Amino acid sequence: MTIQPIYKNILIVGGGLIGSSLARACKEYGAASQVVIADKDAAVRSALRALDICDAVTAKAEPSDADLVILAVPPGAIVDTAKALLPQMQPGTTLTDVGSVKADIVENIAPHLPRTITFIGGHPIAGTEQSGPEAGFASLFTDRWCILTPDDAGSEAAKTLKAFWLALGSRVAFMDAKHHDLVLATTSHLPHLIAYALVGTATDMETVTRGEVVKYSAGGFRDFTRIAASDPVMWRDVFLQNKDAVLDVLGRYIEDLTALKKAVRWGDGETLLKEFTKTRDIRNRIIDAGQDSAAPNFGRDVLGEKTED
Considering beta carbons, is residue 154 or 220 the nearer one to its own copies? 220
Options 30-38, 55-63, 109-117, 239-247: segment touching its own copies (CB under 8 A): 239-247
In the complex, least distance from residue 100 CB atom to its own copies, rounded to whole angstroms = 8
Residue 108 interacts with its own copies (CB under 8 A): yes or no: no
Options 66-74, 106-114, 154-162, 182-190: segment touching its own copies (CB under 8 A): 182-190
- Of 33, 58, 108, 142, the one binding its own copies by CB under 8 A: 142
Residue 162 interacts with its own copies (CB under 8 A): yes or no: no
What is the distance between the alpha carbons of residues 95 and 122, in angstroms, rounded to a whole number?
10
- Of 145, 155, 163, 174, the one binding its own copies by CB under 8 A: 145
Strands 68-71 and 56-58: what pairing?
A: unpaired
Query: Residue 144 — φ and ψ, nearest 5°?
Result: -90, 155
Amino acid of residue 161: L
Contact 36, 9 (CB under 8 A): yes
Residue 2 interacts with its own copies (CB under 8 A): yes or no: no
In the complex, least distance from residue 220 CB atom to its own copies, rounded to whole angstroms = 4
Starting at the earlier edge strand, list the strands of the sheet with 32-38: 56-58, 32-38, 7-13, 68-71, 94-97, 118-124, 145-149, 171-174
Beta bridge partners of 121: 149
Q: Write the interaction track for its own copies spanning residues 266-285; mark x where CB under 8 A is met and - where it is not.
A: -x-x--xx-xxxxxx-xxxx
What is the distance between the alpha carbons of residues 98 and 76, in angstroms, rounded to a whole number?
12
Contact 59, 45 (CB under 8 A): yes
* Cα 266 from chain centre: 40
Considering beta carbons, is residue 54 or 117 the nearer one to its own copies? 54
Residue 254 interacts with its own copies (CB under 8 A): yes or no: yes
- Give the residue among 198, 260, 202, 267 at the shortest CA–CA distance from 227: 198
Considering beta carbons, is residue 174 or 221 the nearer one to its own copies? 221
Considering beta carbons, is residue 156 or 292 the nearer one to its own copies? 292
- Of 139, 151, 163, 166, the one binding its own copies by CB under 8 A: 139
- Of 7, 119, 165, 239, the one binding its own copies by CB under 8 A: 239
Instruction: Name which of residues 45 to 104 contact its own copies (CB under 8 A).
Output: 51-53, 100
Considering beta carbons, is residue 46 or 284 the nearer one to its own copies? 284
Considering beta carbons, is residue 120 or 246 the nearer one to its own copies? 246
In the complex, least distance from residue 33 CB atom to its own copies, rounded to whole angstroms = 17
Residues 243-247: contacts with CB under 8 Å, at least 24 apart: 245/181, 245/182, 245/184, 245/185, 245/189, 246/185, 246/189, 246/190, 246/193
